[in-house]
A and B are shown apart, each in its own frame.
Chain A
Amino acid sequence: MRFAGSLLSVFALTLFAGFLATALPDALKHADTFLGRAVEHSGETVLEQRTRFWGETFTQSIGEIRRVIPPDGVYVLVNGDAADKGAPIWLRYELAPRRAILVPHADLRRPRRVRERIPGSARWVVVASEGRVPKLIDRARFLRRLGGSD
């Protein structure tokens, strides 16, 4: 019985050693990669960093919207995807601390309801879609396109 227990101990320790043997090199490799990238991208400006990470088009588009809407401004955030893929969440983060009023995609079929929800202070509308560049629209233009009644 004691012998079996000892064998089990050896087996368990072998498993542990096997785990370390497989996982620890991976962890070290990750760390090495991260350190290498840190050295490679040292001295980057914020814009260069964001362009590298998010892509040039997206970064430029966000920059343009930020220039138009002041940091304490209010905007309407329209979900352009019928199936919610979270595009408004990502866009809201990029545009924070500007305050957003969300218009879900389903509400676009009910223009009256949307009109009621948009306050007068919200002068801009931003349309977010997965995989597309965010689009900045003037409020009046958006309401025109939205139509008049439910």
Chain B
Amino acid sequence: MNEVLPSLGGVALFAAAGLGAAELFPGLRSLPLVRRLGYAYLLGIALVAGSLWALSHGLGVPLRRPAIWSCAAVPALAGLVARRLRREERKERAARPIRRPLWRRLTGALVSAVLAFVCLGIFAEAVTNPVGNWDSRMIWSAQAIYLRAEGTVDAEVLREWRWYIDHPRYPILLPLAQVAVQEGFGAPQDRQWYRALYAALLPAFLLVLGDGARRWAGRGPAALASLAAVSVPALTVWTAGGAASAYSDLPLACFFGAGLVLLLSARRSLLDGLAAGLFLGAAVLTKNEGIFLACSGLLLGGSSLGWKKHWRRLAAAAVPVVLACALFVSWKSAIPNRHDEKYASFVDPGDFWPEAVTRIPLMAGVIAREMFLQEVWGYFWWMAPAVLLVGWRGWRGRRRAVSVPLLLGFASPLVVVWGAYTVHRNPVFLAPVTWNRFLVQASLPLFLLLSLSLRDLLRRVRSIRDAAAAVWRPQRRVLARRAGGAPHRGAIDLGSGSGAGRSRAARPCAGRAGCGPPVRGASAKRQERQESGQLSSFVHTSSSVAGNVETAAKNVPATSSRASERPRRRSHRSSGSSPTAPARTCRSFRSRERGASGPRPGG
């Protein structure tokens, strides 16, 4: 427990810097605090460690407390000032909280509690034990100790060939983050307070995943995808790349994923492009393969958004990536390489073709064995391909704009590692120590795709349930009539509030010839309610509120979120017919109010 407070302090150092910096980016500051925290933490690491690297290498600033606290304080204070300047505006734009049904709130709270408990467990492990895994001690933490001791990123131990150090030219963003925690809080060497830095990456990952999944798939699929992510040992307790280790694979996954999510979200702000670029730039400074991932992130963002239309935003995103590449190359050019994988000796680019294809049979078995390791993935790969394939419809339509880049984003690290297997003399040796770590790097786009597929599956299963209900309820009504009794209330509930929000697919008889009108059998009481405008669906379909957006926003149902989805879905299909116009106006108003961006769930 001696470790808890300083460990939390280390996490807070980056979170505070990141929260401050997030105030400068519209796409981040408009998010609710909890969803913003994940990005903020990552942004804090990127800014504090990145600026320490640049200052130490460029200006010779020593890696000591004044520099560390300044690097953390500047973005935090800048954010405070920016927030203060905007306070009046914020008051005017304060949004009314949207109340959800009690059961949804309870379910949400339960899921959050489960996620928090697992994250807390990883944090507890981090403050209880010293780091005990291979690469952490061989590369990242060893580098951090040497850098801290010499107080500079251009340490002699790296620059002189005679000193024994493994992979001296590996990027040092995470070692510098370790230095910031250890030096900033004056930790003795054996007090490894930096371990919480890695443990906190798990909640950051989950928050970014939750944000992206909620943007594109909705709350339910986002919650399920988060539960799946937290259930996978590779991201949590796996000591060769998960949050319980001090490897750089999970940080790279977070930076790459966060950059991709921000770049693909629909905001068209130059500053948001810059924020995405900061994450991708941090990816460059995290691991060697980060350069490939950052470039693929920019390419995917550009191809998804459109180069011509969004070139400014993409250029803003490219600036930090280019600067990070320049810093990395400048830093490592003075370091003689030794005790490294001898890529030059075992890599023969001439082998690339046809090895890229001919090695598939050889490698497929090795890769499959790695993916089905219980201690790394559990049964995840027994489930994921089926869910992704069967739920592929969730990737279509408007979501194609994000699902295709996400799919390619998932493939990017795997293409990089496959390139290595193609030219490596002994890929069967290489695969067991690399494949799963590259899967971790690709995991954020993967879980976002999973959430899109889950959304589709849930909708389809819901449609089966509703179809069954649609068949069963009239039968019950007929049976009741035959028995001479009054029709059961459920028999006339086909178009009532509970089903009002369902899509046409969910109500197979709705509007079809021979099936009658969708609200056939509605009771007089319900019709009265409709006429008086109390029913939520009426708010959306009535032309009487079309001209008054404010009124429509106030009348948005407090409890029936499903009901409010109905006009949205129709509006996409019917390309703006007149009854849906108020719904779209209302939705866009609410989106602005909440500051949300990107395609909304349920669309």
- A residues with a Cβ closer than 8 A to B are 5-6, 8-13, 15-16, 18-20, 22-24, 26-28, 30-35, 37-38, 41-46, 49-50, 53-54, 71-72, 77, 86, 88-90, 92-93, 96-97, 99-102, 117, 119
CB under 8 Å from chain A, chain B span 143-169: 145-146, 148-150, 157, 162-164, 166
Total A-B residue pairs with C-beta atoms closer than 8 Å? 167
Contact of B124 among A15, A26, A37 (CB under 8 A): A37
Given contacts A35-B121, A96-B146, A97-B148, 11 further A-B contacts (CB under 8 A): A9-B457, A19-B380, A20-B227, A23-B233, A23-B378, A27-B118, A31-B120, A34-B125, A38-B124, A46-B188, A86-B134
CB under 8 Å from chain A, chain B span 369-404: 378-380, 382-383, 386-387, 389-391
Q: In the complex, which residues of chain A have a beta carbon less than 8 angstroms from the beta carbon of B228?
A: 16, 19-20, 23
Contact flags B164-195 to A (C-beta < 8 A → 1, else 0): 10100000000000000000000011110000
Q: In the complex, which residues of chain A have a beta carbon less than 8 angstroms from the beta carbon of B124?
A: 31, 34-35, 37-38
**SS class, residues of chain B in contact with chain A:** helix
- A100 and B237 contact, Cβ closer than 8 Å, known pairs A22-B378, A38-B125: no
Q: How far is the CB of A32 from chain B (nearest CB, A)?
A: 7
- A42 and B1 contact, Cβ closer than 8 Å, known pairs A12-B391, A12-B457, A23-B378: yes
> Quick check: B231 and A26 within 8 Å, CB to CB?
yes
The interface stretch among B458-466, B472-480, B495-503, B532-540 is B458-466
CA–CA, A9 to B387, complex, Å? Answer: 8
Q: In the complex, which residues of chain A have a beta carbon less than 8 angstroms from the beta carbon of B162?
A: 101, 117, 119
> Quick check: A101 and B163 within 8 Å, CB to CB?
yes
> Quick check: A100 and B163 within 8 Å, CB to CB?
yes
> Quick check: A38 and B164 within 8 Å, CB to CB?
no
> Quick check: A46 and B231 within 8 Å, CB to CB?
no
> Quick check: A99 and B163 within 8 Å, CB to CB?
yes
Max chain A C-beta neighbours (<10 A), residue from B1, B163, B230, B383: B383
Instruction: Please give me the 9 A-B residue pairs with the lowest Cβ-Cβ distance, nearest first.
Output: A31-B121, A97-B149, A42-B1, A23-B231, A38-B124, A102-B164, A12-B390, A19-B383, A96-B145
> Quick check: A9 and B380 within 8 Å, CB to CB?
no
Is B415 in contact with chain A by the CB < 8 A criterion? no
Residue of B with least CB distance to A22:
B379
Q: In the complex, which residues of chain A have a beta carbon less than 8 angstroms from the beta carbon of B125?
A: 34, 37-38
> Quick check: A16 and B378 within 8 Å, CB to CB?
no
